[in-house]
């Protein structure tokens, strides 16, 4: 692993913390089943990421401790559980997650307005009860692993997200133009990000960091391209530099 100084410069001069225009747009996907491993990655890659994503795998392994641990490291925490159940259940689960201090929470946007509203309300209520700032509920439109969804699905789900009070949506980079037109005020979160030439893995609709930023992404979710790299810090620094260049050119 690369050694990182307090100033954010990796040994060998690869990258530097300091360009907040990039760091504020990058979420680190901690898709592992061990909180110790997740914490090691979070500490090493903190200079380039402002958000830590706790997904189903890590949350199943460590539960609320995963959220609290990443908050203690100074991250905004993105809980990616893609809640989808009856409105009462979603409301209560979202309230708990809001009270833990999660800044973002995903809800499946599958033509269920009552469920989405319940999740949005519960998430905000939980944060308010804990004296925390308003969090952002994110509606998942179409998974980036799904290459067969009809073209009308994403626009319909983005519109539903806006109608039900969600603060943002999760979509593929290729859907960003439609998303900007349909729900221009919502935060646009894009997973499936891969540097040029990298393996797409199970992401059928992957995109480069530069393309996603150029198309209007607000937050990029980066996982295996960094966490499974031979040099995670070097990979993170390269992606951050690409994002910073794209932001300046936009």
- pLDDT tens per residue, range 162-220: 999 999 999 999 999 999 999 999 999 999 999 886 665 655 577 999 999 999 999 99
- Spatial separation of the C-alpha atoms in residues 54 and 238, rounded to whole Å: 23
At residue 156's C-alpha, the angle toward residues 155 and 158, to 5°, is: 65
DSSP state of 193: B
Q: Per-residue confidence at 152, pLDDT binned at 50, 70, 90?
A: confident
At 122 the pLDDT is: 98
The fraction of the chain above a pLDDT of 90, given in percent, is 80
At 144 the pLDDT is: 76
Residue carrying the six token digits 């460590």: 62
Q: Per-residue confidence at 8, pLDDT binned at 50, 70, 90?
A: very low
Residue 82 among the catalytic residues: yes
Quickly count: other Cβ atoms within 10 Å of residue 249's Cβ: 9
- Spatial separation of the C-alpha atoms in residues 77 and 129, rounded to whole Å: 18
Q: Is 133 exposed, middle or buried (0-12, 13-18, 19+ CB in 10 A)?
A: exposed
At 211 the pLDDT is: 96
Among residues 16, 82, 180, 224, which one is catalytic?
Answer: 82
Q: Are 188 and 171 in contact (CB under 8 A)?
A: yes
CA trace torsion 41, 46, 47, 50 (10° rounding): 130
The fold adopted by the segment(s) 20-249 is TIM Barrel (3.20.20)
- Spatial separation of the C-alpha atoms in residues 5 and 235, rounded to whole Å: 17
For residue 70, give the nearest of 78, 60, 61, 81 by alpha carbon: 78
At 201 the pLDDT is: 60
At 19 the pLDDT is: 82
Q: Are 103 and 135 in contact (CB under 8 A)?
A: yes
At residue 188's C-alpha, the angle toward residues 208 and 250, to 5°, is: 60
Q: Is 224 exposed, middle or buried (0-12, 13-18, 19+ CB in 10 A)?
A: middle
Region 3-24: mean pLDDT is 53
Is 181 strand, coil or helix? helix
Tens of pLDDT, residues 209-220: 999 999 999 999
Q: Per-residue confidence at 143, pLDDT binned at 50, 70, 90?
A: confident
DSSP state of 8: S
199: left (phi over 0), alpha (psi -120 to 50) or beta: beta
> Does the pLDDT at position 233 exceed 50?
yes
Q: What is the CA radius of gyration of the chain?
A: 17
- Spatial separation of the C-alpha atoms in residues 220 and 55, rounded to whole Å: 15
Region 130-139: mean pLDDT is 98
Q: Give the tokens for residue 59.
A: 């949350």
Q: Give the tokens for residue 185.
A: 């005020």
Helix axes 153-163, 113-129, angle to 10 degrees: 40
């Amino acid at each position: 692993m690369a050694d990182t100084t307090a100033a954010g410069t990796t040994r060998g001069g690869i990258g530097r913390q300091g360009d907040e225009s990039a760091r504020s747009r990058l979420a680190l996907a901690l898709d592992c089943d061990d909180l110790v491993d997740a914490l090691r990655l979070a500490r090493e890659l903190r200079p380039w990421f402002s958000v830590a994503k706790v997904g189903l795998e890590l949350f199943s392994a460590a539960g609320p401790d995963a959220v609290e641990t990443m908050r203690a490291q100074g991250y905004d925490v993105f809980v990616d559980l893609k809640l989808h159940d009856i409105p009462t259940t979603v409301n209560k689960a979202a309230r708990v997650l809001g009270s833990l201090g999660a800044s973002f929470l995903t809800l499946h946007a599958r033509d269920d307005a009552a469920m989405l509203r319940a999740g949005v309300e519960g998430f905000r209520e939980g944060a308010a009860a804990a004296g925390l700032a308003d969090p952002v509920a994110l509606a998942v439109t179409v998974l980036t692993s799904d290459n067969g969804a009809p073209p009308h699905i994403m626009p319909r789900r983005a519109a539903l997200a806006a109608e039900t009070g969600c603060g943002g949506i999760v979509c593929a980079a290729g859907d960003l133009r439609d998303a900007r037109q349909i729900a221009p005020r919502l935060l646009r979160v894009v997973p499936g990000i891969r540097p040029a030439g990298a393996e797409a893995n199970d992401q059928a609709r992957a995109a480069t960091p530069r393309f996603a930023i150029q198309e209007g992404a607000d937050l990029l979710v980066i996982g295996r391209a960094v966490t499974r790299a031979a040099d995670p810090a070097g990979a993170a620094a390269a992606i951050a530099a690409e994002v910073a260049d794209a932001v300046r050119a936009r």
